[in-house]
Amino acid sequence: MTTTTTIRLVTRLCAVALPFVAVGWVSAQSGETELRGIIKAKGLRGDAILSRVNPIPAMDDPLVVLGKALFYTKALSADRQVACVTCHHPFFGFGDNLPLPVGVDAEYPDRLGPGRKRQRTDEHQIPVFANGNAPMPRNSPTTIGLAFWDQSITWDGTVYSETGTPGMSGVDGRIIAPVDTPPVRGMFTHPLLPRSDYLTYDEKWDKGMPISSGHGLMPAAVNAAMRGRAFGAKTAPTMSLQTDLEVRQALAAAIGNYGSPSELSPLKKNEWQPLFRRAFNDPNGPVEQLITTNKISVAIASFERTMTFTDTPWKAYVQGNDGAMSAAAKRGALLFYKPIAAGGAECSSCHSGDFFTDEQYWVIAVPQMGRGKTDVNNRKDANDDWGRAHVTGNRDDKYAYRTQTLLGVEVTAPFGHSGVFSTLKEIVEHHLNAKKSVQAFDFGKVSTDGGPLNLANSKEHTAYALKRLEEQRADGKNGVLKDATLTDAQVDDIVEFLKALTDPCLKDQACLAKWIPGPTDPDPDALRLCARDRTGRELWAPSCAPSQYKGK
C-alpha cells in the first residue's frame, strides 16, 4: 500500500469515526449541563456544615477532649465490658461492620468488628429470650454526620427533637424520648411503659441539649448494649429494678466519685474531675452538679459532632470542579436525582439536601432479622420490630424507619435497619424493587457475624412489612417508595455516585487517627477500650498507647 493510499484510508476512517466522538461529547456535555441545573434548582451547596447555625467544635476544645475520653471508656458500661466505640469505631465507618451489634457478653470483649461474637453458654445471654443470637435489635447506625441531624438520631425516633428546626441540631427545642424511663410529664409516653413517677422536663434533661446528646443518653441503660446484668437487669424496661435514668445517674456518680455506695464498684483510678472542670469552665462548683448524666451526654455529643467528613468528591463537584467525579458517578448522580417518570431512580425524594436525608420515616420492607423489639403480633409471635410504631403505637407507622444519611455510605456496610445487605448494589436494587428483592432474598444465607441472627418469624415479619408498603402504594400515600426499572449498568452508575459521597479520610487510617486516643490523650480511669484480638494482641496502634496527657 502506498503512502498516498494510507493517508486516504485514514482520512476516510476519521470521517466515519469523528461524528460518533462528537455525539458522545455532546451527550456528556448535555448530562453535565442537566446535572448542574439540578444542583442549582435544589439549592445544593455540597457541604452539610454550611447549613449549621451552631458551629462544629474543634478537636482541641476541652469539651471535645472530655467527650473523646468518655467515648472510649468502659466506665459508662455498668458491667464495664464495653464503650461507645465498641459499636462505633472509626475504622468501621464509625459503626461496627456487623449486621446487628454485639454489646455486652462478647467472647472477647475488646474484639471489635467482624469476629466479635457472643459467649455461647445460656448463663451469659442478655436478655434471656435471645439465647444464641445477637442481642441487639438493629444495625449500629454510623455517627458520621451526627452533628447534622435536626429531628432524630435513631432508626425509629426513640430520641427526637421537639422542634426539629433545620440547622439547629435540636438545641432550640427539647429532647423527647418516649420509651425512656421514667417518662416526662406532659410528653407522649409509650403505652407499654406506664409509670406513676413522672418527672418534669427540668428534672430529667437540661435546656439546650443537642439532639445528638441522646446518643450518649440511651445505650448505657440498655441491658444488651452497655448495661449488662448490673442493677438487677431483667428483659424488659418495665421489669428492671432501676429506671433508665437511675442507671445513668449511678454511672455519673461513679465517674464523679460521689453519692452513696451502689452496685457499681468505685473506679480504681479516677482523674475525671479536672477534665470536667476544664470542659464546663467550672473550677469550684459542687461535683454532684458538675458530673451529671446530661453533661456526660453533652460531652460525648461534642466529640461526635466533629465526625462531619464532608470533603467529598461530590462537594468538590458541586462547588465547581467538573473533574472531581468520574463520568460514571455523574451519570449516577443524574439517575439519583431524576424522577422515575423521566427514567431516573428518584432517590432524592427521601435522600434530600446536602445531608442526603429528609429525616422522615418510610416503609421500604428491608428483610426483618434478629430478636426484634418485642412487638407482639399474636400469642406465638412476640419478637417483631414495628419500626416507628414501636415508639408511637400508631398502626400507620408500622415498619417505617428513618431515612439514613448517605454521607460516607461506602464505608458503613452492612445496610438496612437489620444489616442484611452487605453491598451498596444490593441495597440500591432493593430500593428499586422491594418485592423482587424480598422474593429473591435467601434467608438461609444471612451473615452470622456477631450472631447467629434470630430467624424466628423473619419471613413472616418481612411479608408484613412488604404488605404495609403495598398498602401505602394502594392508598396513594405521598412520598412512598416506588419501583423503578434500571439496567444493571445504571445501577452500577448510582453506586459510583454513592461512593463519591465518601470523604477520603474515612478510608485512611492515618487520617482517622485523630479520632482514636493516643499518647497525648487522657485516660482518666485506665478503662480505655483498645481493640485487641482473642490473644490480647493490639489490633490497631495507637489505641492502647499509654497516656501522657498534660491537660492545660
pLDDT digits (tens, 9 = 90+) for 131-146: 446 678 899 999 999 9
Distance of CA 173 to the CA centre of its chain: 22
Distances (CA, A) of 468 to 345, 376, 399, 478: 21, 16, 8, 14
* pLDDT value for 531: 86
pLDDT greater than 60 at residue 33: yes
Helices (H), 310-386: 313-318, 327-337
Give 3-state DSSP helix, strand, coil % of the chain, rounded to 5: 40, 5, 55
Task: Rounding to the nearest 10 degrees, give the CA dihedral for residues 285, 289, 290, 296.
Answer: -170
Q: What percent of the chain has pLDDT over 90?
A: 62
SS3 assignment, position 16: helix
- Average pLDDT score over the chain: 86
Overall average pLDDT of the 230-244 stretch: 60
Overall average pLDDT of the 249-273 stretch: 89
pLDDT greater than 80 at residue 232: no
Q: Which fold is adopted by the domain 62-154+207-307?
A: Cytochrome Bc1 Complex; Chain D, domain 2 (1.10.760)
* pLDDT value for 115: 85
Report the distance separating Cα 180 and Cα 167, nearest Å.
26
Q: What percent of the chain has pLDDT over 70?
A: 85
pLDDT tens column, 144-194: 999 999 999 999 999 999 999 999 999 999 998 888 888 888 886 666 566
Instruction: Name the more confident of 319 and 457.
Output: 319
* pLDDT value for 543: 57
* pLDDT value for 466: 97
Instruction: Kindly tell me the burial class for residue 192, based on how many C-beta atoms sit within 10 Å of its own C-beta (0-12, 13-18, 19 or more).
Output: middle
Distances (CA, A) of 536 to 85, 528, 544: 18, 14, 11
pLDDT greater than 80 at residue 63: yes
- Output the nine-digit C-alpha cell for 253: 456518680
* pLDDT value for 26: 43
pTM: 0.90
- Size of the chain in residues: 552
Domains 62-154+207-307 and 313-505 share a fold: yes
Overall average pLDDT of the 104-119 stretch: 86
Q: Looking at domain 313-505, which of 1.10.760.10, 1.10.1040.10, 3.90.1170.50, 3.40.50.2300 is its CATH number?
A: 1.10.760.10
Overall average pLDDT of the 498-523 stretch: 94
Three-state SS sequence of 394-463: CHHHCCEEECCCCCCHHHCCCECCCCCECCHHHHHHHHHCHHHHHHHCCHHHCCCCCCCCCCCCHHHHHH
Residue ranges per structural domain of the chain: 62-154+207-307, 313-505
pLDDT greater than 70 at residue 432: yes
pLDDT tens column, 275-311: 999 999 999 999 999 999 999 999 999 999 999 999 9
pLDDT tens column, 362-398: 999 999 988 888 889 998 888 899 999 999 889 999 9
Instruction: Kindly tell me the burial class for residue 459, based on how many C-beta atoms sit within 10 Å of its own C-beta (0-12, 13-18, 19 or more).
Output: middle
Q: How far apart are the first and last CA of the chain?
A: 83
Most confident of 102-106, 270-274, 367-371: 270-274
pLDDT greater than 50 at residue 130: no
**Among 167-176, 429-438, 444-453, whose mean pLDDT is lowest?**
444-453
pLDDT band at 16 (very low <50, low <70, confident <90, very high): very low
Q: Which residues of 387-403 are buried (b: 16+ CB within 10 A; e: fewer)?
A: bbbbbbeeeebbbbbbb
Overall average pLDDT of the 1-27 stretch: 42
pLDDT greater than 70 at residue 252: yes
